[in-house]
Amino acid sequence: MKRITTVLLAAILGLLAGLPARAVDWSKAFGRESLETYLEGESLRILVAAGGESRPVLRSAAGELQKVLRACSKVRMVMSDDALGTLAGLDDRSIVGKAAGLPVDRVAVLRVFPGASAEEPTAVVTFYDREGKTLSAFTVEAGSRLVPRGSSESSGKGVGTRAAETVSKIIEGQKDAGDNAVEEYEKRKIWFADGGVINAATGQLVATWTVPYEGKYKKPIEGAEFYEKVGRPDLASSYRTRTGWRWGLMIAGYGAVLGGMTYGLAVGLSCSKKGEYGICEERNYSAVYIGLAIMGAGSIVGFIGQLFINPHPVSAPEARELADKRNQRLREELGITENRRASGSRASPAGVISLSPYVAPGGGGLLLGVSF
C-alpha cells in the first residue's frame, strides 16, 4: 500500500511539474455569488492558505480567491498566508493549527491539481473553522465558473471528484511518511543525559557529568564517535590525538613512579659493603634519593596528563550546539517540518537516584547520586 501511495504521489508531482509556465486565468473561476453559498456565518475573517509547493499557478489562484472573498457581503476581512511561513508538505490540519493564533474565524485551504488538460488546472478549496472542523468544500477548473452550493452540479465534474480524491490520498501518504520519519528521527537523534553526586549530609553537589546518547534506545556515543556522528571528523581526529598524549603522559609518568620506587628499594636499600661476619656496613642511599627524584618527576608528568590535558577539543556547551545542528540536519534529511518535530517523547530516561556510603577522616555518610 505504501509503495502504491508513493507511486501515486510521484505521478501527481510529475503532473504538477507539467503545468504550464504561462499564467493561468482564474478570473472567471470564483464567482462572488456562487462563492458566498459556501460561506457559513456573517462578518467572517478568513485566511486563505495555499497548500503545497509555492508555484505561479497556485499563487495566482490564491490571489484571485482573496480578491473575490473581499467582495463578498459575508466577509469582513481576508488575510494571506504570509504569516504562516512555508506550507510545503503540511496537511490541512497542520495548516489550520499554524493559523490558530491569528485573528481569523475561517481558514480556506487552497490546493491546485492538474485538470482534464494541462491548460485547465483544478482548484480544490476547503473551509475550516478555528478548531479544524470542515465546513464546506468545492472544486473548480480554471476557465470555468464555480457552481452554487446545493445545486445538482455542485458535487463537481469528473475531474473535480478525482482531484478531491487525490487530495485525500496525498495527505494520507504524507501523514504515514511523516510518522515514519519521526520514528526514524527518534532512533537517530543525539541527546545528553546529565548526572550529579550530592552529599546527602550537607546537600553539596560534589560531582557532575554529561553523557551523549543516540536515539531512544540510549546508545552511548562518547569520545571520537560523537564528533563523527555530528559530522566533524576534524574534531574526532583532534580527540584521538589529545587522548593519545594524555594516556602517553599518564603511562610514562606513573610508570616512572613505579620504576623509581623499585629502583630506590632494590638498589638504595641493598647492601653495598659488608664487614666482618657479613654485617652490612654501608648502603647506597644515593640510589634512594635518585629513586625519589624519579618518582617525583613521574608524578608531575602523570598529573599533567591526567588533570591538564582534556581530550575533548570543544566545551560541553559547544558539543551540545554541534549535536543540535546535527539533529537539525537530520530533521531536514527526513523531511520533518516544524509541526512534526519530535518534541513530545524525550528519549532520555527518567531520573535515577542512588545512594552510596563514603568514609572521610572526620566520619562518614552517604552520597546521593542523581541522573536525569
User: What CATH number does residue 118 fall under?
Assistant: 3.40.50.10610
Residues 348 and 332 placed together within one structural domain of the fold: yes
Are 123 and 64 in contact by the 8 Å Cβ rule? The answer is no
pTM score, whole prediction: 0.47
Are 14 and 126 in contact by the 8 Å Cβ rule? The answer is no
Residues 179 and 249 placed together within one structural domain of the fold: no
Residues 236 and 165 placed together within one structural domain of the fold: no
Which residue intervals of the chain are DSSP H helices?
2-17, 32-36, 56-70, 92-98, 158-188, 224-229, 233-263, 285-303, 316-334
Last-in-domain residue among 153, 185, 217? 185
Residues 168 and 111 placed together within one structural domain of the fold: yes
**Residue-range definition of the domain harbouring residue 95:** 2-185
Residues 206 and 147 placed together within one structural domain of the fold: no
Helix (H, G, I), strand (E, B) or coil at 326: helix
Last-in-domain residue among 157, 185, 213? 185
- CA max distance for the chain: 133
Taking CA atoms, 118 is separated from 50, 86, 140, 240, 294, in Å, by 20, 26, 15, 60, 88
Buried b / exposed e along 141-159 (16+ C-beta atoms within 10 A): bbbeebbbbeeeebebbeb
In whole angstroms, give the CA distance from residue 109 to residue 91: 10
Residues 69 and 203 placed together within one structural domain of the fold: no
Are 127 and 134 in contact by the 8 Å Cβ rule? The answer is yes
Residue with cell 511518511: 177
Residues 156 and 207 placed together within one structural domain of the fold: no
Residues 297 and 351 placed together within one structural domain of the fold: yes
Residues 151 and 296 placed together within one structural domain of the fold: no
Copy the grid coordinates of residue 153.
452540479
Our count of domains for the chain comes to 2
pLDDT tens-digit profile, the chain (372 residues): 444 434 344 444 444 444 444 568 888 889 899 999 999 999 999 999 998 877 888 899 999 999 999 999 999 999 999 888 888 878 888 899 888 889 999 999 999 887 655 567 888 999 999 888 888 888 888 888 898 987 655 444 433 444 445 555 555 555 555 567 788 888 899 988 877 666 666 767 666 778 899 988 889 998 899 999 999 999 999 999 999 999 999 999 999 999 989 888 887 777 777 766 667 767 777 888 888 899 999 999 998 988 889 999 998 889 999 999 999 988 888 877 554 444 444 444 444 455 455 444 445 554 555 444
Nearest to 197 by CA among 43, 358, 326: 358
Residues 145 and 162 placed together within one structural domain of the fold: yes
Residue with cell 546527602: 200
Taking CA atoms, 352 is separated from 19, 52, 186, 211, in Å, by 58, 45, 22, 14
pLDDT tens-digit profile of 72-87?
999 999 999 988 888 8
Residues 180 and 293 placed together within one structural domain of the fold: no
